[in-house]
Structure 1
Amino acid sequence: MASPDEVLEWNYSYDAAFSDPVYSPQTIRHGEELVALDPRNIQPRGSFAEALGNEPASQTKIIYTLRHGHTLHNEDSVAWGKNIAWRYLSRLQKNLDPPITKTGIADAILVSQYLSDMVGTNLIPRPVTVYSSPLRRCIETSMFVIKNSGLNEPSAEGDGPPVTLRVKEGLREWMGYGHGHNSDRHGSRAEIQALVEDLKAALGVNISCQLDVPEQDELHDETYTDVDQRVRGVLNDIFDDASSGSCVMLVLHGRSNKSFLRVLGHPPGDVGEFEIDNCVVLPYGVTRRLLDGREAAERAARESAQKQLDQDEAEGGRRETDDQAVQQVIAWRADPKSGRLDDLWRFLQFYEDNGDPAARDAMALLEGDLCESQG
């Protein structure tokens, strides 16, 4: 039996016969890549009862993952391309912990209807607890889904209470490696609590909410392995808490979703290109097993090696993104009829005129990139 001070090391795996979104040809996608917001993706190919019947039953849960709704910084990537948005726009104040847009709200309401219909017809079980990233876009998505799927009310059969919302620091987006994106910063604990209370009042949602976030945001460099480890910590908390229920929902981000998959045993190369659209819900049957000392040491060694690979990938990816952004603005300069470079200048000028110092810095960066290319 473990001593009170001993840290237990758990391994998490998923039931591929129940649901296997990464590899299954039944996963509905836009084209060949992006997993689509579609009710068929919520319904697994296996039985919920059989998945929950895996031994030991106390160590098995149904977990839905839900990516947040569309946001303002997502719009920048669509309008300008990801490379331009990351290099020149990511530090603008408008992108500080951005809210979801009207499209994001509409998608959250749409997926809520899918969930409500499927829970109401017993196609899927009702989640007992919703776990959300502390970033505004996830909290807002959580609250709109809770309200519009009826999870803020007791179950129709009267045997299930309203869900509990738990805001977990471990589910936040990857903070980047030297990126410093404003979209990945969140407010203080008091500001997050105020956001939740404002949403409860505006939506008429009366649910219990628990915050597991620091007093102040602490943005710092992270590798993907760091994200894996904090996501595993969230799973530890979920499985350690019997009141979380046999079915829970995680409202998270693209990168933290990939870390969730890595924690379940997917190789990094297989999840690197696994992209999901906003408000997509996917089900997993997850079981955990206690590692012995040898297994824990072997995992620690693997993760140490993977951490260096992840750091190299993050640094290389940032350089590649910057290089491609510079090449793009050079191409725009060579094609003045397109007006794209002038549009970018005007876009940044607008925010600089409205007092955003980051816009001035971005304009200086853009000017330097263009001048250097001529030198």
Structure 2
Amino acid sequence: MANPNQTPQFHYHFSTVTGIFLQDEETTDASKFDFASTDFGLIPRAYPSDAEFDPNNGKTQWERLAYYIEALNRHSPPDTQYKLLFLGRHGQGVHNCHYSLLNGDDDLTWFDALLTDVGISQARTVNETWKAQIKKGIPHPQSYYVSPLRRCCETARVSFEESGLRGTEPFQPLVKELLRETLGLHTCDARSPKSVVEAAYPKYVFEDGFSEEDRLHVPDLRESDSARDVRFIELLSDIFASDGNSVLSLTTHSGAIMSILHVVGHRKFTLETGGVIPVLVRGERKEGKGEKGVVEPWWPKPECPKN
């Protein structure tokens, strides 16, 4: 007999609802795609809920999508929910591969790397894109999440402050530790102490249990792709279990977005710095522990060629 005091184990199975955005389509070339000029990639199409919501064809594409997501959630079983995730990659940072194992030089610091002027400009483009889409009826994010690394914190601030989106004045995203870039080795992916980030972004909210010091960075090992996937299954499971909202913004990193797309069954889609990809995700809560599959060990520090 099961112990009535024991917390039941469950897991989430994630999948992508395709056919909503151009990024879902195999014919869309990521290297040439411009989210800002294509309504974030929204495909002009009909939805099954249009007859109920828009019989006179007077609603915008975004308004009809928002209602479709609402209808999906309303008619789904209790253990299934749909969330529209806007995944934003931080703008260009001062770090790069050549410098990633060092702390800095006389002119730049890339430990927990900051944005360049180009990176700030990229975040402003995101801000202007949101403003343009608001006029077209885009559903406003109801929850905002951000990586604790400073390039993401600043990207999120520039992207959303004074954007006109509901819930951004003041802008108070939730800082999530697991929303970070691939862990280990690279000093640009180590985070500053909580007090440093908090001083720079005093309105940001840190999740419960967020530690002062970085407990995840490992100086001599690099997180494998499969280990990173497991981390993002945990992150998404936490968000789906605790957040009842259906439109979410996550400002994060290229490796993080790669893993999120992979674990929700989306096709591979590489984002440029400052890029945004929306994904409609179905999350099904199932009893028992989920299968993690083969998780590769973290990788050791590579041998660097001598000049």
**One fold, TM greater than 0.5?**
yes
Tell me what 1:359 maps to. Answer: none
Q: Given the alignment, which residue of 146, 166, 169 partners 1:132?
A: 146
Q: Distance in 1 between matches of 2:180 and 2:211?
A: 12
Determine helix, strand or coil for the equivalent of 2:7.
coil
Q: Given the alignment, which residue of 272, 287, 299 partners 1:277?
A: 272
| Alignment CA distance shift 1:120-1:154 (3 Å) | farther
Instruction: Summarize the alignment of residues 253-292 of structure 1 with structure 2, pairs less than 5 Å apart.
Output: 253-266=253-266, 271=268, 274-292=269-287
Tell me what 1:215 maps to. Answer: 212
Q: Given the alignment, which residue of 121, 127, 143 partners 2:136?
A: 121
**Unmatched tracts of structure 2, length 5 or more:** 46-64
Residues 172 and 253 in structure 1, CA contact (< 8 A), matched pair in contact too: yes
Q: Distance in 1 between matches of 2:5 and 2:20?
A: 35
CA offset digits 1:289-328 (Å, max 9, x no partner) = 12344xx45x23x2xx2x22x75xx56xx64xx5xx63xx
Determine helix, strand or coil for the equivalent of 1:9.
strand
Structure 2 residue identity aligned to 1:70: Q
CA offset digits 1:165-198 (Å, max 9, x no partner) = 100011100014xxx211001111222211212x
Tell me what 1:239 maps to. Answer: 240
Q: Distance in 2 between matches of 1:128 and 1:214?
A: 26
Superposed CA RMSD: 2.9
Determine helix, strand or coil for the equivalent of 1:232.
helix
Instruction: Summarize the alignment of residues 221-370 of structure 1 with structure 2, pairs less than 5 Å apart.
Output: 221=221, 222-242=223-243, 245-266=245-266, 271=268, 274-293=269-288, 296=289, 299-300=291-292, 302=293, 305=294, 307-308=295-296, 311=298, 314=299, 319=302, 322=303, 326=305, 369-370=306-307
Residues 28 and 38 in structure 1, CA contact (< 8 A), matched pair in contact too: no
Q: Distance in 2 between matches of 1:290 and 1:3?
A: 20
Q: Distance in 1 between matches of 2:260 and 2:167?
A: 29
Same amino acid, percent of matched pairs: 24
Structure 1 residue identity aligned to 2:190: R
Q: Distance in 2 between matches of 1:63 and 1:284?
A: 5
**Unmatched tracts of structure 1, length 5 or more:** 156-160, 201-207, 327-368, 371-375
Task: Report the structure, 1 or 2, having the larger helix content.
Answer: 1
| Alignment CA distance shift 1:214-1:289 (3 Å) | same
Determine helix, strand or coil for the equivalent of 2:183.
coil
In the alignment, structure 1 residue 44 sits paired with structure 2 residue 42: yes
Query: Given the two structures, how large is their TM-score scaled by the length of structure 1?
Result: 0.65
Tell me what 2:187 maps to. Answer: 182
Tell me what 1:330 maps to. Answer: none
Structure 1 residue identity aligned to 2:102: R
Shift of residue 39, structure 1, vs aligned partner = 3.4
Shift of residue 3, structure 1, vs aligned partner = 6.1
Q: Which has the larger radius of gyration?
A: 1
Q: Distance in 2 between matches of 1:41 and 1:90?
A: 38
Q: Distance in 1 between matches of 2:6 and 2:261?
A: 30
Structure 1 residue identity aligned to 2:139: P
Q: Distance in 2 between matches of 1:174 and 1:118?
A: 31
Query: Given the two structures, how large is their TM-score scaled by the length of structure 2?
Result: 0.78
Determine helix, strand or coil for the equivalent of 1:42.
helix
